[in-house]
Chain A
């Protein structure tokens, strides 16, 4: 069952990577605002003046 060591190393390193990402994201304020990001995606960024499509 020694292969479990490899799987543990693999799984824990992914978990550690995600933990680091989580800590970074909290510290850099990614989750400070939990209201506007959800609404922001609904707006398109079409140029105000000229649009290629029209």
Chain B
């Protein structure tokens, strides 16, 4: 057998590696800024794009899709070539993938700051960007599968399995969750409503964590950890078993994000059962990683790459034990909506994802520049700063979560709530300050890395095309069959992937209206569609990212019913495209906000929250008082809602703006009674209309019979 000579493409790895560093810093800065806002609201600069509600989606998207995404791509492009003993299938596709992904990130950053958002966590990007993501993902898929098909190594190493699972599942998740009806360029409504939207969203949200932040990084662990330690993985058999177990179980666990909500009980229980089962495959991966280092712990003492990996894998183990525990209903009753969740995700984000990304960069860059790391000592300092940063971040957040939740649930002997919501927030303010210090240390560590890698690059020489040689694959199949076999194996497989996507899209477009429109018939007779003004107000609520701090879901607990009012029913959300239940209560729940305060209270509160509730941490929304409402979009919005089965009367879109102005005038008149002069076409008026509507439908007729038609 003739040995073939070929070259590995290092340039694409370099590009993705640099993008990882740049967006890592950007994402962490956005996170730090958002963290400081929580105890020092003035740092929002009273400027719309830099308020918490817009900065937080920027932070999460930048970290998940830009930082971890680019790190994954760098690692995949490096390891896949070497595992397949082949250059990437197409250099052109590699670069389309790279520039396409960076363009998506840049557009995402701009649009999120401008308030263009779908209002669904981790899927905030608007429909044109969603389409671009799909296309770039397909390019990545073709490139990856093409490389796998032209490989010179018959055996698919376990890391490749993780990459394949990542690609397939993320494609599907993204498409299903992004089904939305465009209203205009950069504005759309989720096709699903209320409970259904929540279920799809958290099916997506959970599996995005699983297949964007876990499986690809596990794949990277299985390549880079043995390479860095220079010893084979502890048990190859275990890696195979835990891979298959992980991917079969993970996809069913999503409903654990919706415990005690209006989601049906059986769906909640299903999510819990699968979440508990997940401990086994997750810990299989963790132990396999740590055991790989058995007998090599002396190397960990020396090598910063291994140091980072050990802590990363340990954090993975902690997060995947904690996750199932958090999905137990009794634990979730305490943890949900608090900072406990924030601590949990940052053990995963800072520890597992961040440290793995750092380790890979520290490994790759000296290799590709054929030199040694500039300073091991500096890298070790980065490691310690990062580790201490994680601890100073996570411990206060766990504490804050516990303390606040217990305060929410505290009653006086007389049976009254012991604390107002605001008191529980002010109590944990010092912990918020500590958290931002932890994040700051972590960020400083990252800057150490930038300097260290810069120095390393300066003294090395980049090898753009790394020479390698390997024998081509021998076809073991009978010679006669080889003809058609080869043809089908080469191109048709890419065709298969493409057609699968097309079929999936086509099928879904066919299926969704049949399933959903019918079920949008209200199940509670007193629940009515939003008025045009309320709908516009709701879009402002979404635009400002109010859902990042306020939930709209009263769970059936004594303290919540006492504090907020009647617990939330599934039938109340049938016109909510998208749902806005939220996942964190930095501010109080708003599901029953309507009618609790006067219009004037809301007006002043938006101007400066601290005038109405001294000590409040909410940013000011001054621009809402000045900016005029865009009523030109009303008819299109009403028509979009009608398409999705919201029962506005025929031709309502034409008179919608008349009704809108009518309602706006009455709110303006109401404000005038409290000596607030405002013209009725301001955005604040629409927002007040929405806030005053929230949760009132079933308040009006408390004895209304609930007719469930399942």
B674 at the interface (CB under 8 A from A): no
CB atoms of A42 and B176 under 8 A apart: no
Give A11 to B247 CA distance when docked, in angstroms. 11
CB atoms of B516 and A1 under 8 A apart: no
B155 at the interface (CB under 8 A from A): yes
The stretch among B163-171, B482-490, B592-600, B620-628 that forms the contact with chain A is B163-171
CB distance from A28 to the nearest CB of B (A): 9
CB atoms of B247 and A7 under 8 A apart: no
Complex interface: chain A residues within 8 A of B248 (CB): 15, 18
CB atoms of B470 and A7 under 8 A apart: no
Partner of A7, one of B195, B200, B468: B200
CB atoms of B155 and A37 under 8 A apart: yes
CB atoms of A11 and B195 under 8 A apart: no
Give A1 to B155 CA distance when docked, in angstroms. 43
Partner of B267, one of A4, A14, A30, A40: A4
Q: Please, what's the 1-or-0 string for B366-397, where 1 marks a CB less than 8 Å from any CB in chain A?
A: 00001000000000000000000000000000
Partner of A21, one of B164, B230, B469, B470: B164
Give A14 to B231 CA distance when docked, in angstroms. 34
Q: Binding site of B, secondary structure by majority: helix, strand, loop or mixed? A: helix
Give how many A-B residue pairs fall within 8 Å (CB-CB): 117
CB atoms of A25 and B156 under 8 A apart: yes
| CB proximity to B under 8 Å, residues A1-54 | 1-7, 9-11, 13-15, 17-18, 21-22, 25, 30-31, 33-35, 37-42, 44-48, 50-53
Complex interface: chain A residues within 8 A of B512 (CB): 6
- Given A4-B267, A7-B200, A53-B370, A30 contacting B511 (CB threshold 8 A): no
CB atoms of B710 and A1 under 8 A apart: yes
Complex interface: chain A residues within 8 A of B223 (CB): 41
CB atoms of A45 and B470 under 8 A apart: yes
CB atoms of B195 and A41 under 8 A apart: no
CB distance from B281 to the nearest CB of A (A): 13
The stretch among B113-121, B232-240, B333-341 that forms the contact with chain A is B232-240
CB atoms of A7 and B199 under 8 A apart: yes
B5 at the interface (CB under 8 A from A): yes
A-B contact pairs, 20 of them (CB 8 A): A1-B519, A1-B710, A4-B267, A5-B515, A6-B508, A7-B176, A7-B199, A9-B511, A11-B252, A14-B172, A18-B248, A30-B155, A38-B232, A38-B233, A40-B157, A41-B232, A42-B232, A45-B468, A47-B467, A53-B463
Binding site for B on A (CB under 8 A): 1-7, 9-11, 13-15, 17-18, 21-22, 25, 30-31, 33-35, 37-42, 44-48, 50-53
Binding site for A on B (CB under 8 A): 5, 7, 82-83, 85, 153, 155-158, 161, 164-165, 168-169, 172, 176, 192, 195-196, 199-200, 203, 223, 226-227, 230-233, 236-237, 240, 244, 247-248, 251-252, 264, 267, 370, 463, 465-470, 504, 507-508, 511-512, 515-516, 518-519, 710
Given contacts A15-B248, A25-B161, 11 further A-B contacts (CB under 8 A): A1-B264, A7-B176, A18-B247, A25-B156, A35-B236, A37-B155, A37-B236, A41-B83, A42-B227, A47-B467, A50-B467
